[in-house]
């Protein structure tokens, strides 16, 4: 059986634009009628994606599959590593968690098993698709890790893939990064590099030309293109590097601009699945601020506690930094609504117990106490696509009652009532919340505090707009209908990205690498 051609994108460092370029190439090749699959052997990220069959992969590969117009599958990212602490991470193999490992233990105990899963997954993709576009991780020049490489040049060699090497000129030193990366490779690995892509360029390209000519003369390899600095793409980010840039993105909302909704997202060290909030940023009457210090909180209309990969430790962070105290002072002023998503939902409860040491060694810890619920973390991880119905028959929120929503769950905990509160969500279908799965969400009796396990809840256009209009009415503002469609916005973003890359990249030369006319 003939296997699909492969093309690989590697980078001189993390966050140089590998994921974005793979996303663009998936879209461009799919436009030519090819059935394209993204592939990343091993991904380290706290933003995850649940496939239709309930398996967990990196968010980037799920998004790349969407750009290619194909269903995401676990073979696209056979290994996902989710940091839980400074020295440990949860290892997800073929969509299911194996447990928490130190870097040393992972390399010693799981290396060969991981490589077997990688090669089998890649073969299955190459049997099912016309082209596989492979993404590397970090840099192939990490010489201290090359003997146990699972994701860069070893994969390129196994797949016989030509490599595009991407560098970020915005951070400076891009020519040194290109030349230095090649210098750290073996002669055979360096020959596999087909050429360079300069990314995130701002300014007059003619001023860059002498450097490009020098690079080509120095290395004997072509520059395939210079991509501009692209912002506001409306495409889900892969990891927390992007989140770090959002923190501190502005002061508290001034009183003169009270015609907008001021939304604060609290950021902690192990924030997970922060793409849940991207849909709110799309609304023109919202300003979303990412806050990690008490002084920046202000008096927002809505505060959101996002997901966490280590709920107890991130809860301790809120207390230790004074954010929890600032949150109580804000809530006591009675001006806003408080929402928790997944780990944030757990934090809003009375107690979080971790008897099995799933996330930390803290055992049982007190929650923030805004919802009368208790959570027990369990070794079993629930990953599933979910549909549910909002149950919120409270004054001011009647428009939300009965709304059908969809999303996904990624959790290792069961939350149950420990006092009077509303369920907020009930499963839509045969499977009901019970002792095994617990609550999907809960809301305080006055409706000011609620939490849920459903990720991407705000990606439901009708729910999002009605919820925001409820906040507007509480604030004395009239409701608005903006007509924002997250699905349409994402499709348009894929096309804008593909168009921008097509304009600045030598696609005919890239097509020849894989025998396709672009």
Catalytic residues: 342, 455
d(CA 331, CA 446): 13
Tell whether the torsion through CA atoms of 60, 135, 25 and 5 is positive or negative: negative
Nearest to residue 182, comparing CAs of 153, 214, 213, 160? 153
**What is the 3-class SS of 88-107, one letter each residue?**
EEEEEECCEEEEEEEHHHHH
Angle at the Cα of 208 (from 206 to 209), degrees rounded to 5?
70
Angle at the Cα of 407 (from 21 to 243), degrees rounded to 5?
45
d(CA 175, CA 114): 34
Question: Where in 60-192 does DSSP place strands (E)?
Answer: 79-83, 88-93, 96-102, 131-135, 163-168
Tell whether the torsion through CA atoms of 458, 267, 282 and 49 is positive or negative: negative
Both ends of the chain: CA-CA distance in Å?
A: 25
SS3 content of the chain, % helix, strand, coil (to 5): 35, 30, 35
d(CA 514, CA 377): 47
């Amino acid at each position: 059986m003939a296997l699909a051609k492969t093309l690989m994108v590697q980078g001189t460092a993390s966050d140089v634009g590998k994921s974005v370029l793979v996303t663009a190439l998936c879209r461009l090749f799919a436009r030519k009628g090819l059935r394209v699959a993204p592939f990343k052997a091993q991904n380290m990220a706290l933003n995850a994606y649940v496939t239709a069959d309930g398996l967990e992969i990196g968010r980037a590969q799920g998004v790349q599959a969407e750009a290619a117009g194909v269903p995401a599958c676990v073979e696209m990212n056979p290994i996902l590593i989710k940091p839980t602490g400074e020295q440990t991470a949860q290892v997800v193999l073929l969509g299911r968690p194996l447990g928490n490992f130190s870097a040393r233990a992972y390399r010693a105990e799981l290396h060969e098993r991981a490589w077997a899963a990688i090669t089998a997954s890649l073969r299955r993709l190459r049997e099912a698709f016309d082209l596989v576009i492979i993404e590397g991780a970090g840099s192939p020049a990490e010489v201290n890790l090359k003997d146990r490489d699972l994701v860069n040049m070893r994969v390129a060699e196994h797949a016989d893939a030509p490599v595009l090497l991407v560098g970020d000129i915005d951070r400076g030193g891009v020519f040194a990064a290109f030349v230095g990366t090649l210098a750290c490779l073996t002669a055979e690995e360096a020959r596999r590099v087909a050429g360079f892509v300069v990314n995130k360029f701002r300014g007059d390209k003619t001023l860059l030309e002498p450097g490009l000519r020098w690079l080509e003369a120095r290395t004997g390899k072509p520059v395939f293109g210079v991509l501009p600095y692209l912002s506001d793409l409306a495409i889900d980010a892969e990891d927390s590097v992007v989140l770090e840039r959002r923190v501190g993105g502005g002061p508290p909302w001034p009183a003169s601009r009270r015609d907008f909704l001021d939304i604060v997202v609290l950021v902690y060290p192990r924030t997970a699945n922060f793409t849940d909030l991207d849909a709110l940023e799309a609304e023109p009457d919202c300003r979303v601020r990412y806050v990690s210090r008490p002084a920046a909180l202000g008096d927002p209309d809505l505060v959101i506690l996002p997901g966490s990969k280590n709920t107890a430790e991130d809860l301790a962070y809120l207390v230790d930094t004074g954010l929890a105290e600032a949150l109580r002072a804000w809530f006591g002023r009675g001006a806003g609504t408080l929402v928790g998503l997944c780990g944030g939902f757990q934090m809003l409860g009375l107690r979080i117990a971790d008897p099995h040491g799933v996330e930390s060694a803290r055992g049982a810890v007190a929650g923030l106490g805004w919802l009368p619920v208790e959570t027990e973390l369990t070794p079993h991880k629930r990953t599933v696509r979910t549909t549910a119905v909002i149950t919120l028959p409270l004054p001011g929120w009647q428009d939300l009652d009965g709304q059908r929503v969809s999303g996904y769950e990624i959790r290792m905990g069961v939350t149950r009532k420990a006092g009077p509160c509303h369920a907020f969500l009930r499963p839509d279908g045969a499977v009901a919340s019970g002792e095994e799965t617990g609550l999907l969400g809960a809301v305080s009796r006055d409706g000011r505090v609620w939490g849920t396990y459903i990720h991407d809840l705000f990606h439901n256009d009708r729910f999002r707009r009605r919820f925001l209009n409820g906040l507007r009415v509480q604030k004395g503002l009239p409701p608005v209908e903006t007509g924002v469609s997250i699905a349409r916005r994402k499709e348009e973003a894929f096309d804008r990205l593909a168009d921008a890359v097509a304009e600045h990249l030598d696609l005919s030369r890239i097509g020849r690498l894989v025998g396709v006319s672009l």
